[in-house]
């Protein structure tokens, strides 16, 4: 079963783990879900 989540950022920035796809709204050194250090940063 695939779990879909929506993420709404009010800051115009989005951080996303390149390993597991977890999304968060603040800069982190590692993903809180899978501990990967490959974090993508998007501005819109």
DSSP code of 10? Answer: S
Domain ranges of the chain: 13-43
d(CA 21, CA 42): 13
Task: Render each residue's pLDDT in the chain as its tens digit; 44 residues.
Answer: 555 555 555 679 999 999 999 999 899 999 999 999 999 999 98
pTM over 0.85: no
d(CA 24, CA 31): 9
Angle at 36 between CA 31 and CA 6, to 5 degrees: 40
């Amino acid at each position: 079963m695939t779990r879909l989540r929506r993420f709404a950022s009010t800051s115009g920035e989005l951080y996303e783990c390149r390993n597991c796809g977890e999304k968060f709204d603040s800069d982190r050194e590692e993903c809180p879900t899978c501990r990967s250090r490959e974090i993508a940063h998007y501005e819109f």
